[in-house]
Amino acid sequence: MMAQSLPTPAPDSTGERRRRLRMRNRAVLLVLLMLVALIYVIAIVRMGGG
Amino acid sequence: MSDVSISTETVDADAPAAGARVGDFIELLKPRVMSLVVFSGFAGLMVAPGNLHPVLAAVAVLCIAVGAGASGAINMWYDRDIDAIMQRTRKRPIPAGRVDPQEAVSFGIVLAIGAVTLMALAVNWLAAGLLAFTIAFYVFVYTMWLKRRTPQNIVIGGAAGAFPPMIGWAAVTGQISLASIALFLLIFMWTPPHFWALALYRTGDYAKAGVPMLPVVAGARATKAQMLVYTVLLFPLALAPWALGLTGAVYAAAAVILGLLFILAAVRVWFDSGERAARQMFAFSILYLFLLFTLLIVDRAPGLLGGSWT
């Protein structure tokens, strides 16, 4: 890989990066939990002949 | 802050410095386009004969929404080079550097597979198949093949945006019928004048990006003539749901009035040398489809207007 001198991110940028990553992880977790709940409800409806 | 060390070998020069926000990923889904797609899909679901459990109906709408969003994300990934050139699109998450292209395409693919799988498992295979075909058509036929090659890009590619009512219909009935094809044709015929109205006042933008939209290739006069032809052809097609017995007189009357107004808008564009009439026609085209499908639902839904008035 070609050596590049990239600017070192400022501390604020690193903190912001971590905050955004945390928010994204929470969003993914929320979506997965909702998907599990949705599949559970779908299964109930389908078994009930819906 | 010395505990944080970042190796230059692991930093992608193209990656956004602070990472993408959740809002950036939502923007990748093209929420405004998605809303019209969801609405037309919902209309197909509502007017179809038969019953679908409300939970499964909601799942079908969700799958259509996610599928449309996935198509948008993949489209933004593929078009990131021209999006960076065009004024209208340069602030999108990828050209603005807020989302990594690989993340965007992965996001789109995962959502597309998830939406189709959920539709197949929860609703039926025909609706899932149509959804998969729609996503594939938008990505491969429109985005990758037609968009940069022919001025007829949005005429043929417009089919992708016309499928949602058919998907909604198939979700309820498990079939493709003449009435659902009529709904497809309605949006299919509406798409060219809608997009060409936009292209007329964004001609410079499209030309700069090398996208061969009709006004760029054939000029404004030829585009305006074709817009007029399409709005005239759309007029009888908008009455097809009534002619097929899908709706009653309220819808038919509204379709006539809205159709005449749409033709009038196209006539005004024909005589207008500026871009004001084109802007107005673009705005009206959205209202036209929204009102038409609202009336389709209202006129069809039992109890809302006391059933269809024939």
pLDDT, position B136 = 98
Q: Which of B50-54, B253-257, B260-264 is least confident? A: B50-54
Residue A12 located in a structural domain: no
> For residue B168, is pLDDT > 90?
yes
pLDDT, position B234 = 98
d(CA B32, CA B279): 17
Residue the block writes with tokens 């990006």: B209
d(CA B184, CA B161): 9
Q: Which of B6, B9, B20 sits opposite A20 (nearest CB)?
A: B20
Q: Does A28 touch chain B (CB under 8 A)?
A: no
pLDDT, position B2 = 37
Q: Do residue B21 and residue A17 have CB atoms under 8 angstroms apart?
A: no
Q: Which of B7-16, B109-118, B128-137, B283-292 is least confident? A: B7-16
Contact indicator for B35, B80 with CB cutoff of 8 Å: no
CB-CB neighbors (< 8 A) of B8 in chain A: 3-6
Q: Which residues, given as ranges, of chain A have pLDDT below 50? A: 1-4
> For residue B196, is pLDDT > 90?
yes
Residue-range definition of the domain harbouring residue A48: 25-50
Q: Which of B9-13, B16-20, B227-231 has the highest mean pLDDT?
A: B227-231
Q: Report residue B156's pLDDT band, with 50, 70 and 90 as the boundaries.
A: very high
Judge residue B270's burial from the number of C-beta atoms within 10 Å of its C-beta, 0-12 exposed, 13-18 middle, 19 or more buried.
Answer: middle
To the nearest whole Å, the CA of B71 is away from the closest chain A CA by 19
d(CA B180, CA B178): 6
Q: Do residue B17 and residue A17 have CB atoms under 8 angstroms apart?
A: yes
Whole-number percent of chain B with pLDDT over 90: 85
Query: Hey, which residues 38-97 in chain B have their CB within 8 Å of chain A?
Result: 53, 55-56, 59
Residue A35 located in a structural domain: yes
Beta-carbon pairs below 8 A across chains A and B: 53
Residue A20 located in a structural domain: no
Model ipTM? Answer: 0.73
The residue ranking higher by pLDDT, A13 or B244, is B244
Q: Per-residue pLDDT averaged across B239-243, rounded?
A: 95
What residue of B is the nearest CA neighbor of A25?
B22
* H or E, element range at B156: helix B153-157
Q: Report residue B166's pLDDT band, with 50, 70 and 90 as the boundaries.
A: very high
Q: Do residue B53 and residue A45 have CB atoms under 8 angstroms apart?
A: yes
Number of structural domains (chain A) is 1
Q: Do residue A45 and residue B13 have CB atoms under 8 angstroms apart?
A: no
Q: CB neighbours (10 Å) of residue B203? A: 19
Q: Which of A6, A14, A21 sits opposite B8 (nearest CB)?
A: A6
> For residue B309, is pLDDT > 60?
no
Residues B85-143 have pLDDT tens digits of: 999 999 999 999 999 999 999 999 999 999 999 999 999 999 999 999 999 999 999 99
pLDDT, position B302 = 60
pTM as predicted? 0.86
Residue A29 located in a structural domain: yes
Residue A18 located in a structural domain: no
Burial B26-62 (b: 16+ CB within 10 A, else e): ebbbbeeebebbbbbbbbbbbbbeeebbebbbbbbbb
Q: Does B167 touch chain A (CB under 8 A)?
A: no
CB-CB neighbors (< 8 A) of A16 in chain B: 18-19
Q: Does B8 touch chain A (CB under 8 A)?
A: yes
To the nearest whole Å, the CA of B60 is away from the closest chain A CA by 11
Residues B47-89 have pLDDT tens digits of: 999 989 999 999 999 999 999 999 999 999 999 999 999 999 9
Q: C-alpha distances in angstroms, B55 versus B66, B153, B286?
A: 16, 37, 29
Q: C-alpha distances in angstroms, B97 versus B12, B17, B31, B206?
A: 12, 9, 19, 21
pLDDT, position B19 = 76
Residue A11 located in a structural domain: no
Mutate to test the interface with A, among B3, B11, B27, B110 (most CBs of A within 10 A): B11
What residue of B is the nearest CA neighbor of A36?
B118
Residue A19 located in a structural domain: no
d(CA B12, CA B124): 42
Residue A7 located in a structural domain: no
pLDDT, position B4 = 37
Q: C-alpha distances in angstroms, B239 versus A20, B41, B76, B227, B288?
A: 50, 19, 35, 19, 13
CB-CB neighbors (< 8 A) of A9 in chain B: 6, 17
Domain annotation for chain B: domains and CATH numbers? 20-176 (1.10.357.140), 193-310 (no CATH)
